[in-house]
Amino acid sequence: MTVALGLLVATVVIGVAGPFYLRTAVTPSVRPGLALAGWVSSIALMVLTALVAAVVLLAPRAYVVDGLIGMSHSCVNAVRADGEAVWEHVARAAGAAAVFCALAWVAAVAGRLSWRRRRWRREHLALLRAVSRCERSVLWVDEDTPLAYSVGGRDGAVVATRGVARLGPRERDAILSHERAHMRGRHHLLVLLADVVAEALPFVPLCRRAPGAIRVLVELAADAAAARLHGPGSVRAGLLAVVGRGAPSTALAMSRDAVEVRLRWLGGERAAAGRPPGRAGYALAAALALAPALVSIGVVALGVLAYCLSVRPA
């Protein structure tokens, strides 16, 4: 019971406080890849703690799972002789059922969203392959406006217009590297994950804020990857070329504002540029994401211990 309680508290702490402590990682002095790892592992951890809590709640002899730190079961039994033990079973079953229902709902939303997007992607790619020509694993479309984007998935592709091919080699390579970084980092999948949890559990702050934060971070991570290969100056030139010559459509006009901030970001990040975040960096990000969960479990265990010590003598 103690472990299950601790895990449930950890789920709530990550879900509610997550956006606030993860926000501090979104700064030019922290690699965007690490901040991205922090967000994604926090979401995964929140789901995992809830799932394990539900399983522990349902386990027939849960006090065995509790082991050394679990005394709530025995001390509840000591305090209330019998009769009320039934309520404990009801509470356990209800808690577990709530968690399983929430997870099933997330799975249903994930299935629906990914199916709809896969269908859209397949149709778009079919048409795209017909109207473009493939060269150096990029689908080139005959269009003068410089424009580049990527379609995720196993059959995904980087798409660019003739306008991009006509830019200087620096700008062109930086733009294509940015899009290839999206493909390599499976950024489309991370964006889908964020959209799924936001649509399924909008009342959880971590889930509600995930799409905005993850979309920002994948762009910054791809900018950083392109800057490592071609230098921040090339990425900056690429961004300016695409936005500056864009048609006055609403989509491009709006992007001007976002690009302004990304340009400033590239300038500020220069100090941190250099080698990409290694395995140790990602392990560190995961460990930091884990810390709130461990602290929550520890605090609940201490709370139960204090409760037991205070009621035992009576």
Partner 1 sequence: MRGLGELEAKVMDVLWSASGPLRVREVLERLDTPRPLAYTTVMTVLDNLHGKGWVRRNRAGRAYEYTASESRAEAGAKLLRDVLASSGDAERVLLHFARSATPEESDILRRALNRRGGRG
Positions that interact with partner 1 (CB under 8 A): 23, 26-29, 116-117, 120-124, 126-132, 141-143, 145, 147-152, 161, 175, 178-179, 182, 187-188, 191, 195, 209, 212-213, 215-216, 218-219, 222, 238-239, 242-243, 246, 249-252, 254-255, 257-259, 261-262, 264-265, 268
Q: Kindly tell me which of 73 and 182 has the beta carbon lying closer to partner 1.
A: 182
What is the C-alpha to C-alpha distance for residues 124 and 126, in angstroms, rounded to an integer?
5
Beta strands in 48-193 (DSSP E): 133-135, 138-141, 148-151, 157-161
* C-alpha triplet 139, 140, 142: angle, nearest 5°: 145
Q: Kindly tell me which of 66 and 171 has the beta carbon lying closer to partner 1.
A: 171
Decide: 187 and 179 in contact? Cβ < 8 Å: no
DSSP 276: P
Q: Kindly tell me which of 26 and 273 has the beta carbon lying closer to partner 1.
A: 26
Scanning the structure block, which residue is given the tokens 């778009």?
124
Q: Kindly tell me which of 53 and 210 has the beta carbon lying closer to partner 1.
A: 210
CB of 7 to partner 1, least distance (A): 30
CB of 162 to partner 1, least distance (A): 9
Q: Kindly tell me which of 1 and 175 has the beta carbon lying closer to partner 1.
A: 175
CB of 33 to partner 1, least distance (A): 15
CB of 44 to partner 1, least distance (A): 21
CB of 185 to partner 1, least distance (A): 10
What is the C-alpha to C-alpha distance for residues 152 and 93, in angstroms, rounded to an integer?
40
**Residue 1 to residues 47, 48, 56, 222, 265: CA-CA distances in angstroms?**
19, 17, 8, 44, 47
Write out the H or E segment, with its range, that includes residue 202: none
